[in-house]
Chain A
Amino acid sequence: MSESPLTKSTVFVVDDDQAMRNSLKWLIESVGVPVESFASADEFLAAYQPGRSGCLVLDVRMPGMSGLDLQEYLVEHNIQIPAVIITGHGDVPMAVRAMKSGAIDFIEKPFNDEVLLDAIRRAIAYEEQQRSHYSENLRVQERLAHLTPREREVMEMVTDGRSNKEIANSLGVSAKTIEAHRARVMEKMQAGSLAELVRMALVANERA
């Protein structure tokens, strides 16, 4: 059982039934994942800070905002947190609706513990992946911001695979000058090698 990726994430349980909430917390905590439980969707929204890593375990039937409503609300507001839906008695339309909104899994009560835990694991892994990608992007963007427009130009040309001379010609400056620019770009972007700089440029472009 690989438990390493689960360590820093939290599972947010939202269920109106207190016994259900407590039992879920008890079960999920048995695999070493911290759990925070909420009695309603509103309570969760009030307490949740975007950016926290983890996943949601949602009951469908709740007074006020239902589990599915909450899921849709989060998608609408671009809050990317994967959800596992559980329900007393599910039907196909309900399951379809959940999956469409990007649910990791749709589980019917009473459920096998492994099924639920597996779904949670998958959700967290997905979230981790999403999160690391996102943070790399952020880092590159931040470094790019430090470049002067000329340095940026130089960087683009370098990552395009053009030689120093070619760049000097096209920009109408000496190769020596380009050399200096290139060295500063490498320094500012904290790139160890040209290959690394190229990957950064790719990440940055993906974002753009």
Chain B
Amino acid sequence: MIIRQRRHSGTRKISKRSLTRRLLKGIPIPLLALAFGLVTGFAVWVVVDRIQTRALSSIFDQALESQLDRQARESLIRFDEYRRSFGFFTQLIATHRRMADYLDPIIWSRHPVDIAHYDAGNPPPWLPRDLAWQGGISARHFMLVDPSGAVRELYSPANESLPEALLGEPRNHLATGQQRAYVTLLENAPWLIVSETTEDNARTPMGSVVLLVPLDSAFLAASQKFVKPTNVVAILDPDAQRILSSSHPEGVIPGRTLAELRKDYLVTAQSFFDYDGSDLNLLFATLLPRGSFERTGQQVLDLERRQRLIGAAVMISAFVLLFLFLSSRISRLLSRVSSLSRRALEIPEAALDRRGNQLIILEDWIRDFVQLVMRAREEMRRQHESELQETEKLRVAIMDASLDSVITVNERGGIIDFNPTAQKTFDYSHEEAVGRSFNDLVVAPKWRETFDRLLYLSLVGADQGAPLQRVEMQAVARDGHIFPVELSIKPVFLEEQLVFTLYLRDIAERKVREAEIRSLAAIPSESPIPVLRINRRGVITYANQPSAPLLKHWGCRPLQTLPVYWRNRVEEVLSSESTSELEVMTDFGVFSLLFAPVTELDYVNVYARDITGERLAEEELKRRQNELVHVTRLSNMGEMATGIAHELNQPLSAIVNFANGCARRLRLDMGGKEELLHALGQISAQAGRAGEIIKRLRGMVSRRQPVREHVDLNVLAREACSMISHELKRQDLAIEHRLAQRELWVRVDSVQIEQVLINLLRNALDALVEQRAPNRHLTIESGVQPDGMVFVSVKDNGSGISRKAMEHLFDPFYSTKESGMGMGLAISQTIMSHHHGKLRAESFPGKGSTFTIELPPSVANLVSAAS
């Protein structure tokens, strides 16, 4: 029950999770990994992009600032350098020889005079002629100022008028020789004023040369000549926050406010070097167009983003590949594990569906597997329990069914268990017996001490692993009846105690039977006929008194070995496992020995019988029968005399003809020698033939002892046929021969067998007398029967034999013929049985009869068949 509940709760949990699980289960791990990678990547992307962009732009701004700063400084330095070149230029003019030469004769009057003006068409004589090499450097106004600061001469290459402000208060600016170069604001425009003292040849100070250069866009552009045109420099009026002039007047229009410019440019403002002395507060500004920086920043950001994207793609694909690999490994693991588990638990479960999310499938499988294992374990436990119960039942059943009394006692000899056989044998119920002492209750008083000893001995034996010993002792039942029992003791070492299982068998009956057997064993010794027992080696293990003549004949005594011939017979009988009867002729008479093998015990019992009398009687009978056979033969011969005479007539006539032929030839002296010799040969052959006939006749007539010889049965059949050939001719009948092709060897007395065949043939001829000539058939056939016997049959298609005649067919003196003696078939049968053969008759009234003789084949037959 507990298990079932647990299982229920488990399934409920599963159902809760099942929706997401089922959803996840369908998706293979690589796909899941891909999706997860994409989502995470996107989220990280969003955050990182924000942060990185900010960080980047701050870094970028810093870099920009420093760059701007540097650029500003650089452009200022460049500006200063440019400005300084004007200083050198002025110095060059001031110290030029022409200037000195010009000034030499001049002496400045103390009174103000008009300013001497020069223009492009009329350059001043103090200016060096070759100013062209100065490149783009050009001043708007060249002035020669006397030491008091009054302008004495003025050269304006572009014919422009001098700014008013300068003229208004020129001394402020021009009188001091200290300020060599400075920037000032004249008529709202920035100007560079450079001055240099000048002397005449006598080194008398003659004032200074002053150059006025407008700081206009051309100047600014020239100062930044070798830098990218995107960098714009400007002069700034910090009070008004306005541009006064710029190097790029198209973009940075002078007059515009700084605030307006900041939209498009980054502006850095600096104060001029070395101009601090000036009362003017002008600033040098460097402007960088915002557009170019932002584009660069954007490009950097884009590059950054692209790289991040590539990086992310590589990461995700590596991730997915990893999971693909992992999932394939898991799949393989799954398949292996599932097959393993199926094999281990012998679950006829279908193969695991390994599609989808392998991890979840693995998890599911492990859960299922654990459940299966639990179930299997439970099953095993239950099985084990039931087995235990069954074993117990079996044990009880064995105890109950046991034919022996089985009693269990504890180590003190108290009865614990008392099985039904014991209850019946000793007539105590289980309840009565349990708790009592075994010794007191069951063992006969005389044997109690012995039993105690036995109990102890069984322990000793058990330690050494000795087999159970059977001991005979006496027990007593409830009614005091004492009877013999067979006891065996088996000590059983349980965990906490020692018990003994005692098996008792009532052997009273067996004792009686043993006594019976002992008395039965005396039978052969009491037997009046010879009884012997011989073992396989041919040793006579037992021979009773009447077998003395046999032992004497063999020349041995009991426990001695038989002669070799008889030893071999014993061996044969044992290996064939069938009884066999043999005869032995002794000086004391003829004995028939019946050899009965007892194979399981490997000996032969021999029962002998004195058959001397029987043998004598048989001999006599045989002699009489032979006589009868002879008499019958003679009578047959008489009947056949005419035929035989004719038979003889044939060779004799031939001889006469040959002889006469020879005589004629000799008389006429014709015919070759060879021819005559051949004819003479024929004469002798025919004489021989006549002699054969007579010899055969004599053989049939003479009275002699029967002899056995190996002959071909076919030869006998043919001879028999020829003996009656005359009678055949007289009836104008031919015998149809169906004799076997192969030779049929038999060991017989050929005269007697021929006699039988002649008899049968003549009977057949007699049967055919009434038949009309063309329909008469007489067939002689020979061969081997399926049972191995060889046979010759004589078949006629005469009138057959009536049922009544069939009954008496082989009776002596029974004949259906007027002239017959009625001995033919009777004698034939006797002859056949002497040859261990048979004579059979079959008849179909109206259709004919068949007589068959059967004979056992001789050994020669087998040899010829084999060859």
Contact = CB atoms under 8 A, between A and B. Distances in A.
Q: Which 6 A-B pairs have the closest CB atoms?
A: A23-B657, A113-B660, A30-B664, A26-B661, A19-B654, A23-B654
Given A19-B689, A26-B661, A109 B653 contact: yes
11 contacts: A17-B650, A17-B654, A19-B654, A23-B656, A23-B682, A23-B686, A27-B657, A27-B660, A27-B664, A31-B664, A63-B729
Given A19-B651, A113-B657, 5 more contacts: A19-B686, A22-B682, A24-B657, A30-B665, A113-B656
Contacts of B686: 19, 23
Interface string A3-39: 0000000000000010110111011011110000000
Interface centre among A19, A23, A24, A111 (most CB of B within 10 A): A23
A26 B679 contact: yes
Contact of B646 (A32, A66, A88): A88
Interface residues on A, range: 20 to 34
Interface in B642-681: 646, 649-658, 660-662, 664-665, 668, 670-671, 679
B583 interface: no
B766 interface: no
A127 to B, nearest CB: 22
Nearest to A60: B729
A110 B682 contact: no
Interface string B339-355: 00000000000000000
B664 A23 contact: no
A89 interface: yes
B734 interface: yes
Main secondary structure of the interface of B (DSSP, over half): helix
Given A17-B650, A19-B650, A110-B649, A27 B732 contact: no
B570 to A, nearest CB: 61
B729 A61 contact: yes
Interface in A57-80: 61, 63-64, 66
Contacts of B649: 88-89, 109-110
A40 to B, nearest CB: 11
A63 B734 contact: yes
Given A17-B650, A30-B670, A88-B650, A23 B732 contact: no
Given A19-B651, A110-B653, A89 B646 contact: yes
A66 B773 CA distance: 12
Nearest to A17: B650
Interface of A: 17, 19-20, 22-24, 26-27, 29-32, 61, 63-64, 66, 88-89, 109-111, 113
A4 B670 CA distance: 17
B653 A20 contact: yes
Contacts of B671: 30
Given A19-B682, A63-B734, A89-B646, A30 B654 contact: no
Interface of B: 646, 649-658, 660-662, 664-665, 668, 670-671, 679, 682, 685-686, 689, 729-730, 732, 734
Nearest to A113: B660
A32 B661 CA distance: 11
Contacts of B655: 23
A23 B653 CA distance: 8
Contacts of B665: 30
A88 B644 CA distance: 12
A113 B662 CA distance: 11
Nearest to B650: A17
Nearest to A26: B661
Contacts of A26: 657-658, 661-662, 679, 682
A20 B650 contact: yes
B667 to A, nearest CB: 9
Nearest to A64: B734
Contacts of B654: 17, 19-20, 22-23
Interface centre among A19, A22, A89 (most CB of B within 10 A): A19
A174 B654 CA distance: 75
A174 B661 CA distance: 70
Nearest to B685: A19
A86 to B, nearest CB: 9
Contact of B658 (A23, A88, A111): A23
A22 B680 CA distance: 12
Interface centre among B657, B671, B732 (most CB of A within 10 A): B657
Contact of A61 (B661, B664, B668, B732): B732
A148 B836 CA distance: 91
Contacts of B732: 61, 63, 66
A30 B661 contact: yes
Contacts of A113: 656-657, 660-661, 664
Given A26-B682, A61-B732, A89-B646, A110 B661 contact: no
Nearest to B652: A110
Contacts of B658: 22-23, 26-27
Contacts of A29: 661
A5 to B, nearest CB: 18
Nearest to A23: B657
Nearest to B667: A30
Nearest to A21: B654
A113 B653 CA distance: 11
A19 B647 CA distance: 12
Interface centre among A17, A32, A63 (most CB of B within 10 A): A63
Contacts of A19: 650-651, 654, 682, 685-686, 689
B571 to A, nearest CB: 59
B253 to A, nearest CB: 163
A24 B661 CA distance: 8
A24 B656 CA distance: 10
A113 B664 CA distance: 10
A25 to B, nearest CB: 9
Interface centre among B646, B654, B658, B671 (most CB of A within 10 A): B654
Contacts of A22: 654, 658, 682
Interface centre among A27, A31, A88, A113 (most CB of B within 10 A): A27
